[in-house]
Structure 1
Amino acid sequence: MIKAVIVVNNHGKARLVKFYQNVSGVEEQQNVIRRIFQQVGQRPDSFCNYLEGSIPEWGDDVKLIYRHYATLYFVFAVDKQESDLGILDLIQVFVEALDKCFENVCELDLIFHSDRVHYVLDEIIMGGMVLETNIVNILQAINDQHKLHLASNKVQPVTTQAVGRGRPGPQVARPPPGM
């Protein structure tokens, strides 16, 4: 099971945090993020991307699997039953999906479009379980959601009448049926 997905920059600032196993309290969550960054951020790029460790809030049954892209660490905290290569592939799928959504994703996209980033992650993982790994299906769901979002933001014109003094208010044309 996936316990958390954490994206931090090279300075340890969290850019995306999603806990799937409960960590009560903001201070405990900050401690978990700090411990994870301390373990991952100090490793040279030539080392492997798997790290077995102990996070006191989760016990000794934790593996940190991560990828370092440019200025960001994408870290998945998982239990020991998860496949290391499977999670590395999942990180790759997540980053590819973000890259397609934001046309060359960068740290600022994660900051200013956190709602869309969380939506992409929710298409891949829900409740600590992997839902989808096929990038085509993930992108199709994201595109469908984007179309729904655009359709819901269209303003529906309404005919109004001014109240009082008998003067008509501004008239707004109604769209033809089917739009």
Structure 2
Amino acid sequence: MGIRFVLMVNKQGQTRLAQYYEYLNIEERRALEGEIVRKCLTRNEQQCSFVEHRNYKVVYRRYASLFFLVGVDNEELCDVDDVKAPNVVTTIDGIMKHHLKLHI
């Protein structure tokens, strides 16, 4: 199927944007987000940007104070450059000119 979910999370681990491409109820989403966010935020910069979790591969990228996480099928391959964090942040900056990234 490809991409299963996209998350935008701040440095404190709070989900700021979540888009799921498969059905998960609220409890499953909260559990999944909590587990994945803890896994990704505790990694240091020398470690790779791919994490295996349950039946997903999670590709993440940090941009400023935000983390962008993309969950894909295990058999799918996703390049970290496909996580276009700067493009998303630039778009949000264009829409919300008077807000800082900290407000997101």
Q: Give TM-score scaled by structure 1 length.
A: 0.50
Q: Is there any run of 5+ residues in structure 1 with no aligned partner, and where?
A: 55-60, 112-179
The partner residue of 2:73 within 75, 79, 91 is 79
Instruction: Output the CA distance in 1 between the equivalents of 2:13 and 2:59.
Output: 16
Identity over aligned residues, as a percent? 26
Gaps of 5+ in 2: none
Question: Which structure 2 residues correspond to residues 87-126 of structure 1 after superposition, within 5 A?
Answer: 88-92=80-84, 94-103=85-94, 106-108=101-103, 111=104
**Superposed, which structure 2 residues align to 1:125-144 within 5 Å?**
none
Query: Which structure is higher in helix share?
Result: 1
1:97 CA drift (Å): 4.2
Task: Quote the Cα distance in structure 2 between the aligned partners of 1:10 and 1:81.
Answer: 29
* Dislocated runs of 4+, deviation >6 Å: none
Q: Work out which structure has the larger RCO, using CA pairs closer than 8 Å and 6 or more positions apart in sequence.
A: 2
CA distance in 2, matches of 1:47, 1:29: 26
Report the structure number with the largest CA radius of gyration.
1
1:2 aligns with: 3
Query: Matched residues in 1 for 2:70 and 2:87: separation?
Result: 16
Q: Aligned letter for 1:95?
A: P
**What letter is aligned with 1:96?**
N
TM-superposed deviation, 1:27: 2.1
Give me the whole-angstrom Cα distance separating, in 2, the residues matched to 1:29 and 1:71.
22
Deviation of residue 81 (structure 1)? 2.5
Asked if 2 retains the 8 angstrom alpha-carbon contact of 1:15 and 1:107, the reply is: no
1:35 counterpart = 2:27: no
> Per the alignment, in what secondary structure is the counterpart of residue 64 of structure 1?
strand
